[in-house]
Amino acid sequence: MSDKRMSHFAHITKAHPCFNEKIHDKVGRIHIPIAPNCNIQCGFCTRKLNDTEKRPGVASCIMSVDDAIEHIRETTEKMPINVVGVAGPGDSLCSEDTLKLFNRVKKEFPDLILCMSTNGLLVPEYADEIAQAGVKTVTITINAVDSDIGVQIYDDIVYHGKMYHGKEGFEILLENQLKGIEMLSERGVVVKVNSVLIPGVNDKHIKEIAKEVKARGASIMNVIPLIPLNKFKDLEKPGCGMLSTVRNEVEEILPIFRACTQCRADAFGIPGAKQQDFSLEMVPNSHY
């Protein structure tokens, strides 16, 4: 990693609760649910609007940009917030409102770190706009770098209006994910890679993901356990032993973040802190 990238990465890790375990329960973030749609179908993903499930891909509502700005304004007045992010409940880049929001936040809340999560399919097309909007960190979820494994995880890829299946679809996705890491890194954006640990599918493969994404410019990884849903609903969630083993293997290659709480797409507050971590379904009489 270059000296410039090291300096920028160090700045982010001092302030971002999802990049630094030491401050994970001390400073907050706001996830804005502004992107309802997605252009891929992962085997483990079920997107929903509800008030009950505590997981990614779930939110109570879809906000407008104006509602989001008001939510940020109200929340930052009440608690220590360092980060505003978009994490769905679909894919961030499937909504034009994501970059509109970031441009608004950059002007109105210049001290906040802007962050987004994406499957990476559209990152190469939007890398310049992401950087220009002031986004400092992007998390790309990459669950395989081998097509034989990838086709077990991803079902459909919709790209430029056409649906792709099998290896053809996975290879388009992977090419864009890796190219996207390179392009963002070149533009000074810190890239974190999330990998969902799926027992019997990619549990022996995540170290290879780490090697590949490091070579492309990723700065940190987060290995998260499968939440058994959709076509993987009958699999067991990986145990602590498997998760620890895989994380230790990754840590030989890239820094690893271990404190992820797998938040809802409308979560806000201080992650994992009792009585300080919220989501919109917990807000009485919310008008959003």
Residue range 237-264: mean pLDDT, rounded: 87
Which helix (H) or strand (E) covers residue 268, if one does?
Answer: strand 267-269
Task: Please tell me what DSSP assigns to residue 236.
Answer: P
Task: Using pLDDT thresholds of 50, 70 and 90, give the confidence band for residue 102.
Answer: very high
Residue 65 lies in a domain: yes
Distance (Å, whole) CA 281 – CA 212: 39
**Dihedral (CA of 253, 259, 265, 268) sign:** negative
Q: Which domain holds residue 232?
A: 3-282
For residue 270, pLDDT beyond 60: yes
Six-digit token string for 99: 């970059």
| Measured distance CA(225)–CA(236) in Å, rounded | 10
Q: Is residue 46 part of a domain?
A: yes
Domain assignment present for residue 287? The answer is no
Structural domain includes residue 51: yes
261 within domain boundaries: yes
Asked if residue 28 belongs to a domain, the reply is: yes
- The alpha carbon dihedral of 7, 8, 9, 15 has a sign of positive
Query: Is the Cβ–Cβ distance between 229 and 257 less than 8 Å?
Result: no
pLDDT band for position 285 (cuts 50, 70, 90)? very low
Q: How many CB atoms lie within 10 A of CB 134?
A: 16
57 in Cβ contact with 33 (< 8 Å): no
| Residue range 234-245: mean pLDDT, rounded | 92
- pLDDT for residue 283 is more than 90: no
**Sequence-distant (≥ 6) Cβ neighbours of residue 125 within 8 angstroms:** none
pLDDT at 9: 56
How high does pLDDT run on average in the chain? 85
Count of structural domains, the chain: 1
Predicted local distance difference test score (pLDDT) of residue 28: 81
What per-residue confidence (pLDDT) applies to 269?
76
| Whether residue 142 has pLDDT greater than 90 | yes
Higher pLDDT, 261 or 204: 204
Measured distance CA(139)–CA(121) in Å, rounded: 12
Global pTM reads: 0.86
What pLDDT, on the 0 to 100 scale, is given for residue 143? 97
103-118 mean pLDDT: 94
| pLDDT computed for residue 261 by the predictor | 63
C-alpha–C-alpha distance, residues 15 and 81, integer Å: 10
Q: Where are the beta strands (DSSP E) in 47-111?
A: 48-49, 58-59, 81-86
Is residue 210 scored above 90 in pLDDT?
A: yes
**What confidence score (pLDDT) does residue 234 get?**
87
Share of the chain above pLDDT 70, in %: 80
User: What pLDDT is attached to residue 13?
Assistant: 61
Query: Is the pLDDT score of 217 beyond 70?
Result: yes
202 falls within a domain: yes
The CATH code of the domain that includes 105 is 3.20.20.70
- Cβ(191)–Cβ(218) under 8 Å? yes
- Secondary structure (H, E, C), 169-218: HHHHHHHHHHHHHHHHHHCCCEEEEEEEECCCCCCCCHHHHHHHHHHHCC
Asked if the model's pLDDT at residue 287 lies above 50, the reply is: no
Q: Which residue has the higher pLDDT, 285 or 115?
A: 115
Residue 288 located in a structural domain:
no
Q: Give 267's strand partners.
A: 279
